[in-house]
Amino acid sequence: MIFSSELIKGTLKTIVLKLLADNKKMYGYEMTQRVKELTGERIQLTEGALYPTLHALEEEGMVTTELEYIGKRVRKYYKLSAAGKGRTKERVNELADFMETMKLLLDIQPKTA
């Protein structure tokens, strides 16, 4: 089963930040492939959501970029900035807490119903 894009939307920034924390530098296509691989193709990052998020993270100063020229095309690598490293920890912890709470919430609901 592939997770819906609504579920992924709220966690996309955290996924990208965590990917960059675990890998020195990555480009867009590489990220989509890595996520597919790590989740057994259950999470597929769409290009329409990934690139706006990457641009927003760059604007916020969470990531820095590096260009690599491959013939006629340019590859843009993303790296975590110092601020981004701090933010990654916060966001990962927040998401972990959120998942715990959701577990609790969703376990309780059938009993009360």
- Residues near another protein (CB under 8 A) are 27-29, 32, 46-49, 51-56, 59-60, 70-76
| Shortest distance (Å) from residue 71 CB to another protein | 7
| Shortest distance (Å) from residue 47 CB to another protein | 4
| Shortest distance (Å) from residue 23 CB to another protein | 16
In this complex, which beta carbon is closest to another protein, that of residue 83 or of residue 99? 83
Q: Determine the 3-state secondary structure of 76 from DSSP.
A: strand
Distance CA 28, CA 93 (A): 24
Given a contact cutoff of 8 angstroms between Cβ atoms, the answer to whether 67 and 87 are in contact is no
CA 71, distance to chain mean position in Å, is 29
